[in-house]
Amino acid sequence: MAEQEASGLQVLLRTLQSSSDRESILTILQLLGDLLSGGTDRRIRYMISKGGSEALLQTLVDTARTASPDYDILLPLFRLLAKVGLRDKKFGQKALELEALDVTLILARKNLCHSQNLLHCLWALRVFAASVTTAAMLGINGAMELLFKVITPYTQNRTRIIRAATEVLAALLKSKSNSRRAVNRGYVVGLLRLHQDWHSHDTANTYVLIRRGLLLCLKHIAALRSGREAFLAAQGMETLFSTTQNCLDDKSLEPVISIVLQILRQCYPKSPLPLVTASSAYAFPVPGSVTSDPPCVLTEEDFEDDGDEEVDKDSDSEDVKEEDDDLETDVNKLTSKPGPDRPEEELRQYEAMCLELSCSFEDLESKPGDDLSFEETQYANHHHIPTAASLKRHCLSKDQLSWGQEREDTGRTSLLSTVKMGRSSVHLASGKAPGMNPYQNAQSSGLGIDSSGSEIPDIQAFLNEDAWDIDAMSCPRMSASFSNSTRPRDATEVINKLLQTHPQHIPFHDPCLYMAKARRTRSVADFKMMAFPDLWGHRPPPSAQPMLERKCGIQRIKIFEDIRRLLQPSDIINKVVFSLDEPWPLQDTASDCLRFFSKFESGNLRKAIQVREFEYDLLVNADVNNTQHQQWFYFRVSGMRAAVPYRFNVINCEKPNSQFNYGMQPTLYSVKEALLGRPTWIRMGHEICYYKNHYHQSAAVTGGASGKCYYTLTFAVTFPHDEDVCYLAYHYPYTYSALMTHLDILEKSVNPKQVYFRQEVLCQTLGGNSCPLVTITAMPESKSADHVEQFRQRPYQVITARVHPGESNASWVMKGTLEFLVSSDPVARLLRENFIFKIIPMLNPDGVINGNHRCSLRGEDLNRQWLSPRAHLQPTIYHAKGLLYYLSSIGRSPVTLPKILDKLAPAFTMSSCSFLVEKSRASTARVVVWREMGVSRSYTMESSYCGCNQGPYQGLQFGTSELEEMGAMFCLGLLILELKSVSCSHHLLTRAATLLNAEEEVLDHYLQRCSSSSSSITSELDDEPACLEEIDYSTDSSSDQEGSFSELDRQIQECAFNKEEGDEEEEGPGQGRKASP
């Protein structure tokens, strides 16, 4: 049947080419039209494969070259050509070879006054011009001059012809040679005048698509440097800005406004960032570092793109599917297990990090305070060791804690109950509109209520009567007194006084201990100050905050404001008010501008420029010894007025897109709010968007293969108090000193007779800081040989976090994991009794300390260094890998649960997981640990900065509570994974059955295992796919609507059904079709 169909189609096509009989040709064209009008594109592509394009083009050439061309044949032939040509990627080349371009241009010139014939010629030209090569040839043959005869100033006549002509011209101008020709012949000025004329007269927006076609012509010309220069010289920026600025909210003009924005952004003069160098403001001399060359001056040549003509992308490789370069195809690499990257005798050093396998338990009993220095032990008597149960009390001293029995976490909901509820107790406050100021209920009098319900004194009166300087107090020095205070005090005394007058009850945090830890933390810039939120602590808000509802059109509004800054600079202040590159101080305390500061741990703000009275451009610092990775920010701002919206523009971000475009807000911490009893980081900001700006650095400056574009994060903040001191951050900060404080307090909170908690140093970092290694398990039931043996045979779980400093959310998840593992929760107790946890909570302490976003002090991504780390260059990775090698060498490879977490954790989604291995990630921890050490379940768990789009937390932004809950759920997932495994011991199953008996209905459908059949167990083990050596790549496609031919298809279809139409029926104001947005 298929052969008969093929032979029938081929007969028709051969007859069409060879026949000179008019009726036969019309009949065949009618048959082909009927055949292709129904069904899908499959019929058209089949016809193309049988030579249909060549047959139609040859018929066109033969018919057009007769003495008197028959338009009864030509018009249906043009319709078929347009329909087929849209689907034939080589159509332009075929038309060029068969000389169809010339005859079509000749026919168009002959029919300038005959609308219907001209319209069909334009349709064919539109399809020919889809090929850049063919478009260039049409330009050489005078196609653009012909079109400018058709495109006239505003008229209500021949509008279908004018619209078709603008579309053909826009397609032709995709060719660089045609765009250069248009610039040289002065077409830019003409196109701008035509646009102005149609815009001013088309008040009913009837001919939006004609206006859009004219703008597309300008857009393609502006792709060339010479085109941009001509556009600017013709006052194009001013013209488009003035004609569009009052139409931004008109949805019927969406097709026009979107193109105007693209042109304005394209032609906005490129400029370098207002920085003295692209390199980080901080430099750290490390082995193997490369000194950067002095910055080069950026010139317009850096954006030169008037190169040779483009090549048609699909002309010669239509049926070739490119193989992705990132796909690993070497079977040997996939199946072989490389040996250790160091001598085996070197692994013996890690035996000292696994003392739980050899030492006697008399020696291993935890003795809180053993590892503390004198300056820390002097605060030991008033360490705050709060739990959820102690939020209503001030604190418990170390001596008050009884180790005879585990402390009761009476205020904490058990993890299994949380699973049963489906979400934590944190809820969305009712009646709070998205974007509403979370501080709106703060009492204007300055009085506050703390978490216990007690009234806190008037903070402003307290500050005034005691001669406090809130600016100095909000960022205290580590060891010196407050310089602006009339009565100098030691920093510890100041904090104690604050704690007495404004008591805070924050679990697992102690300001005095934090201060002691911060003094020992070493930074590149030798920070002398501490950020108040890190010192004072953070308590999660009582309710989750919704994702910010994005204001419609906010991005284009902000872009137009940027363009207004260029065109109307009269109100621009452009004053540098803070800079790490300038001598300090820059800020005039008497001025009305905001005051900025970022020289504290994890801080990142390099420069602040006052643009207008309440608007500031901010630049964040690149990673140390790098010119890249500007994304993380954390800085102090003061001197504000309440109820005044301030706009901040972070203008040197690097990522092409951001969660800030999808409902995420920055975080804010108010010192006055903290002293009023609300020490909380909250999501804050409105009118938020993230978009590409006009800043650019050349390849010579950045040291890359090509120049770099930058992006702006813009947001507005309304501060809760006058003359407050606030901190703004990309995400909830979590510093290295906070981690070290947390670990010490955790160690003192556990019962050493029941919980084995050991804190030691994995290695020293390049910056001279200790990288902590934590071991958590349960003490053996007794010192009998059997119990000690059971203790030592427990499998290992190795967990690492925070290899990328800007991912502070990882530390909050790790905090939840650590606190849960040492808690009295039954699941935690069961985990401790059956596993030994080796935890490296911060793999990149130096990066975290110095405010980096991605890198170490060497300026390299540590998660790309696992293949061949070196001890003197990447010490934390080298020793973390060494520890894993050691465990593997003694037969204790860690077993490191996606589907389980998908069911347990409200904030986890299986659909977003990837279990694939690409070449570009061959040096990451996940791949190296899997490949070199045979750990089949080696995962990287990623956390969103923003929130959830599914599950119980859908529509909510993550707070620290949700992140910590994810850490606890991760632990539960580990337990369930072990219960589902073949190797699960009878002892663990028995204990788990006892524990879960009361909660059987909670986890019943998660733990459908209790079959003794090994086959059923094996099937359950496949709860997620293994590491796959393939990846589903989605092409980086941009939806260019001008490239879609669906509208042309529609026009052709309408014309085909209108059998009796003669000359074109003109489109008047009531007949034109408005474009839908």
377: left (phi over 0), alpha (psi -120 to 50) or beta: alpha
CA–CA dist 457, 1003 (Å, integer): 48
The amino acid present at 478, given as its one-letter code, is: M
Q: Which of 5, 300, 942, 1065 is catalytic?
A: 942
Question: How many CB atoms are located within 10 Å of the residue 551 CB?
Answer: 13
Q: What is the signed CA dihedral for 598, 632, 813, 407, rounded to 10 degrees? A: 0
Give yes or no for a contact between 2 and 46, defined as CB atoms under 8 angstroms apart.
no
First vs last Cα of the chain: how many Å apart?
46
Q: Catalogue the E-assigned strands of 641-729.
A: 645-653, 667-670, 682-683, 686-697, 708-718, 725-729
Task: Tell me the torsion sign for CA atoms 304, 306, 308, 311.
Answer: positive
**Geometric angle at alpha carbon 1058, from 1055 and 1060, rounded to 5°:** 130
Q: Is it true that the peptide bond before 540 is cis, omega within 30 degrees of 0? A: no
Tokens of 694: 């006009």
Tokens of 758: 């050991």
Tokens of 788: 């000690």
Q: Is 198 exposed, middle or buried (0-12, 13-18, 19+ CB in 10 A)?
A: buried
CA–CA dist 155, 145 (Å, integer): 20
Query: What are the phi and psi torsion angles at 617 (to 5°)?
Result: -90, 130
143-150 vs 132-140: helix crossing angle, rounded to 10: 80
**Geometric angle at alpha carbon 245, from 240 and 249, rounded to 5°:** 125
DSSP class of residue 413 equals P
Buried b (16+ CB within 10 A) or exposed e, 599-636: bbbbbbbbbbbbbeebbbbbbbbbbbbbbbbbbbbbbb
Query: What are the phi and psi torsion angles at 905 (to 5°)?
Result: -95, 125
Active site residue 942: yes
Secondary structure (H, E, C), 597-659: ECCECCCECCEEEEEECCEEEEECCCCCCCCCCCCCCEEEEECCCCCCEEEEEEEEECCCCCH
Element holding 783 (H helix, E strand): none
Q: 114: closest CA among 153, 74, 145?
A: 74
CA–CA dist 848, 984 (Å, integer): 38
Give yes or no for a contact between 989 and 288, defined as CB atoms under 8 angstroms apart.
no
208-221 vs 254-267: helix crossing angle, rounded to 10: 20
Q: Which residues are known catalytic residues?
A: 942
